[in-house]
Structure 1
Amino acid sequence: MALFTFRLPDIGEGISSAEIVAWHVQAGDVIGEDQPIADMMTDKATVEMESPVAGTVVRLAGEPGDSVPIGAMLVEIEVEDGTGAGAEVERPSDGTIEAATGGGAAVLPEPERREAHGGAPASAGDEPEAGEKATSGMPRSDVSSQLAADSRTRSQEDKVLASPAVRARAKDLGIDLAQVKPSGDRIRHADLDAFLLYRAGQGYRPAGRGAARPDELVKVIGLRRRIAENMAASKRHIPHFTYVEEIDVTRLEEMRDQLNATRGDRPRLTILPLLIVAICKTLPAFPMLNARYDDEAGIVTRYGSVHLGVATQTDAGLMVPVIRDAQDRNMWQLASDIRRLAEAARAGKAKVEELSGSTLTLTSLGALGGIATTPVINRPEVAIIGPNRVIERPVFRGKDVVPAKLMNLSISCDHRVVDGWDAASFVQAVRRLLETPVMLFGD
């Protein structure tokens, strides 16, 4: 047997390191060639790394959230002799094995070194002593201690033998299977019943029935960390101001219903494509809004084309796919683009070029839009527009009170580049188009 070191390859021009987002393998797993082993995130995209060899995973470079330099060890794999020749692990003079992580060099303790070098592994039932835990190069803290404790708890529960149905029931009841004594070779439903009966006299209550959940420490990594950094930079560098106006969209909604009734096989229209048409028709008179500001160089670039970012909520966090040249597309094409890009973003299949280069961003919470929003600008852009929920309220039409469908439109701007008068004038121009929707189709 031999040890093969898979080093992080160059996965993008100008990239010096990548962040570990998720591991698909753990130490001790037997893997095949080309099997996914980790998701690595750069400034531009998340890349799935695959193993170049088959073998047994011996060691990983770090935990999710750690940064791994290009060329540093990512995974160490035990392979048959002859596989990956010349790729033996480099060992320091003291016999320890060092792993390159974002926190520094991690040194494996003696029991793990014996196992990594082919020696006898520690007994499965042995509890490691306090001094035997591997460090990640990071200072000890409450967070790292809690993460280690959580990992041990998950490991103990994974060793329990139980059917998927029993595991599902235990999860619903909030029962830790590691605390249930099996009556045979595995835990069965009868064992869960006995556990509940025994604990009932001790005041046991299943989770979700009044019992407080334990505190949870969640490491901010991957896209969630990137969003946090970008939002913090936007609020730190950009002096925001927000302007909100109420728009009567009664006639616009009537027209939309009529268009949807005869749409055929075209995508269903929401209010967003119609709003985008209004925005694109209005922007030529307000070029300071369709712009980017390089505050380091002191240069504002005003764009002739509208590359509209559409903020999209995904399971991983907020992403902003971009509709290129939105000013050249009709409402049906825009509806199709919105649907296609949203589905790609939520499935994690959006291309890098579809997630960058926006000149103005539109953000909508749909039915959850609320009365008004104060959206944060997508730096280095200088404006972001947020339509809010459409609600029906009574309004005066002359001396009569009639029902009307109303929507508030919010816009946040960079006050270094956009004056309040310009933002208000832009929104009023968009309002005129939406309140007289036939004007959306005129020159």
Structure 2
Amino acid sequence: MAARVVKVPDVGEGIAEVEVVEWHVKPGDEVAEDQALATLMTDKASIEIPSPASGRIAALGGEVGQLLAVGSVLVRFEDAAGEAAGVADRLPAAGGAPADQPPAEPRRPPPPPPPPSAARQSRASARDEAVGTGEAPAAMPRDDRPIASPAVRRRAWELGIELKDVRPSGTAGRIVHADLDAHLARHGRQPPGAPAAVPRSAGAPRDDTEAVPVIGLRRRIAMKMQEAKRRIPHFSYVEEIDVTEVEALRAALNAKWDGQRPRLTLLAFMARAIVLACAEFPHLNARFDDEAGVITRHGAVHLGVATQTAHGLMVPVLRHAEALDLWAIAGEVARLAEASRAGRVTRDELSGSTITLTSLGALGGIASTPVINHPEVAIVGVNRIVERPALRGGLVVPRLAMNLSSSFDHRVIDGIDAARFVQSIRGMLEQPALLFAG
């Protein structure tokens, strides 16, 4: 048989290698056209590579966790049908995954070879609608054919699950393996192979261990954090802010525009304050190329918003925050957070930030030391809001207080400038009318 080769596609942006996060096939498997072959991780996002043709898998190009160069062999086929050039021509175009493939979801090991795939479904209009609204797709209407890969369909069949009853979380209403697990959980079932709860007596000794490979997004996060701490001499600055007034304003605005405008969170006010402070201190809204010795100051504020997802920390970018009002900021932050958690965020939405805002929400603690998002020079961290006693006119009164924990690149940012920057943010949040005067 004439062997055919599927190569690692060029995903653009100068990326030279990708990491194998998960194989969805193994040697000897019969695969159908469009069936997922592998999930690959770039430095920005994960992409699922579909098979450009049907055939039998002869060999895989590497192991899970291995880095593969763009253009190297991903899989080899044993099927003589079709020309090798035709396979290469139908690989994903530069710039990301194919249009009908969402960012990868963590999935369980692949099931036995799936049945031949059904005819291709018309998915473009559904995908455009889902991305345009920025909301998680609802459950599929019962008279529509659910969108799912052959592997997901086979697993659903083995579990006795009707796909039309499953609430999808993927792009354009696509059902992924995690949706099957969630469906089982909602109905009080456990996936096959899930460990049963074993009652243990108090203080019972344990000697079990678990080896967890650091791969995929977790590896990228680890590498990025290590690089940032290795290259950037951080210094942190913590300041307490009285947020009583801004919280009262937020509640009043939400009550006034309930259901008519996006719901405001404190992050929207924080973003607005950062935009105005960056106009006053433009050297904080910058990226430092330490190899070239060049600091690039940006007029646009492309605000990275650190977002925790089930797969790890992502930093989607709120572009041109300087051109958005409070409600536009709130709506876009909510959209980016939902897209990140549902695995629908795009590569472009994960790159190009000029300064970052991070928050641990209600778990924010008293203070923290956030790591700068290299090659930026500043990151602003939000800690939790607590009620504290304060003196006002000689009386002890309750006030809402919050700490800002921010980090700066000491190579290019002096301590006095960092302090003035944070104090500018503090002044606007304590007197929120200033947020509308800039």
The Cα shift of 1:86 comes to: 8.8
Match of 2:230 in 1: 236
Amino acid at match of 1:235: K
Match of 2:254 in 1: 260
Match of 1:150 in 2: none
Q: Tell me: CA distance 1:82–1:209, structure 2 relative to 1, closer, same or farther (3 Å).
A: farther
Q: Equivalents in 1 of 2:223, 2:415: separation in Å?
A: 27
Aligned pairs for 1:107-122 within 5 A: none
Alignment partner of 1:354 is 2:377: no
Match of 1:155 in 2: none
Match of 1:90 in 2: none
Determine helix, strand or coil for the equivalent of 1:363. Answer: strand
Kept in 2, the 8 Å contact 1:248–1:405? The answer is: yes
The Cα shift of 1:438 comes to: 1.7
Aligned pairs for 1:373-392 within 5 A: 373-392=368-387
Match of 2:109 in 1: none
Match of 2:196 in 1: 173
Match of 2:35 in 1: 35
The Cα shift of 1:166 comes to: 9.2
Q: Equivalents in 2 of 1:267, 1:22: separation in Å?
A: 38
Q: Equivalents in 1 of 2:274, 2:211: separation in Å?
A: 43
Q: Equivalents in 2 of 1:39, 1:216: separation in Å?
A: 23
Alignment partner of 1:340 is 2:340: no
Kept in 2, the 8 Å contact 1:58–1:78? The answer is: yes
Determine helix, strand or coil for the equivalent of 1:391. Answer: strand
Q: Equivalents in 2 of 1:207, 1:306: separation in Å?
A: 56
Q: Equivalents in 2 of 1:402, 1:423: separation in Å?
A: 30
Kept in 2, the 8 Å contact 1:20–1:68? The answer is: yes
Match of 2:150 in 1: none
Aligned pairs for 1:311-322 within 5 A: 311-322=306-317
Question: Where in structure 1 are there 5+ consecutive unaligned residues?
Answer: 88-157, 176-204
Q: Tell me: CA distance 1:174–1:76, structure 2 relative to 1, closer, same or farther (3 Å).
A: farther
Match of 2:57 in 1: 57
Aligned pairs for 1:156-171 within 5 A: 168=191, 171=194
Determine helix, strand or coil for the equivalent of 1:313. Answer: strand
Match of 1:329 among 324, 327, 343: 324
Q: Structure 1 residue runs of 4+, over 6 Å off?
A: 161-167, 206-209
Aligned pairs for 1:360-379 within 5 A: 360-379=355-374
Q: Equivalents in 2 of 1:167, 1:44: separation in Å?
A: 33
Match of 1:412 in 2: 407
Amino acid at match of 1:48: E
1:7-59: CA deviation from partner (whole Å, max 9, x where unpaired): 32333353433211111223343321111111112334422211122133333
Kept in 1, the 8 Å contact 2:302–2:320? The answer is: yes
Aligned residues: CA RMSD: 2.9
The Cα shift of 1:171 comes to: 3.4
Q: Equivalents in 2 of 1:335, 1:167: separation in Å?
A: 37
Aligned pairs for 1:244-255 within 5 A: 244-255=238-249
Match of 2:8 in 1: 8
Q: Tell me: CA distance 1:208–1:338, structure 2 relative to 1, closer, same or farther (3 Å).
A: farther
Kept in 2, the 8 Å contact 1:207–1:213? The answer is: no
Kept in 2, the 8 Å contact 1:247–1:407? The answer is: yes
Q: Equivalents in 1 of 2:194, 2:252: separation in Å?
A: 49
TM-score, with structure 1 as normaliser: 0.71
Q: Equivalents in 1 of 2:54, 2:202: separation in Å?
A: 44
Q: Tell me: CA distance 1:301–1:59, structure 2 relative to 1, closer, same or farther (3 Å).
A: same
Report which of the two structures shows the higher radius of gyration computed on alpha carbons: 1
Match of 1:219 in 2: 213
Larger mean CA deviation between 161-170 and 237-246 belongs to: 161-170
Q: Equivalents in 2 of 1:249, 1:365: separation in Å?
A: 17
TM-score, with structure 2 as normaliser: 0.72
Amino acid at match of 2:431: T
Match of 1:67 in 2: 67
Match of 1:111 in 2: none
The Cα shift of 1:168 comes to: 5.0
1:357-416: CA deviation from partner (whole Å, max 9, x where unpaired): 111000011111110111000111100000110001222213211111000011100111
Q: Tell me: CA distance 1:341–1:60, structure 2 relative to 1, closer, same or farther (3 Å).
A: same
1:325-376: CA deviation from partner (whole Å, max 9, x where unpaired): 1111110000001011111122222222211111100001111111011100
Question: Where in structure 2 are there 5+ consecutive unaligned residues?
Answer: 87-154, 161-183
Q: Tell me: CA distance 1:26–1:208, structure 2 relative to 1, closer, same or farther (3 Å).
A: farther
> What is the aligned residue count?
342
Percent pairwise identity: 52
Determine helix, strand or coil for the equivalent of 2:25. Answer: coil
1:104-143: CA deviation from partner (whole Å, max 9, x where unpaired): xxxxxxxxxxxxxxxxxxxxxxxxxxxxxxxxxxxxxxxx
Determine helix, strand or coil for the equivalent of 2:194. Answer: helix
Q: Equivalents in 2 of 1:211, 1:83: separation in Å?
A: 59
Structure of greater relative contact order (alpha carbons < 8 Å, 6+ residues apart): 2
Alignment partner of 1:271 is 2:266: yes
1:49-93: CA deviation from partner (whole Å, max 9, x where unpaired): 1112213333322221112233332223333x4444799xxxxxx
Kept in 2, the 8 Å contact 1:173–1:206? The answer is: no
Kept in 2, the 8 Å contact 1:8–1:73? The answer is: yes
The Cα shift of 1:436 comes to: 1.1
Determine helix, strand or coil for the equivalent of 2:383. Answer: strand
Kept in 1, the 8 Å contact 2:45–2:217? The answer is: no
Q: Tell me: CA distance 1:167–1:399, structure 2 relative to 1, closer, same or farther (3 Å).
A: closer
Q: Equivalents in 1 of 2:18, 2:45: separation in Å?
A: 10
Determine helix, strand or coil for the equivalent of 1:74. Answer: strand
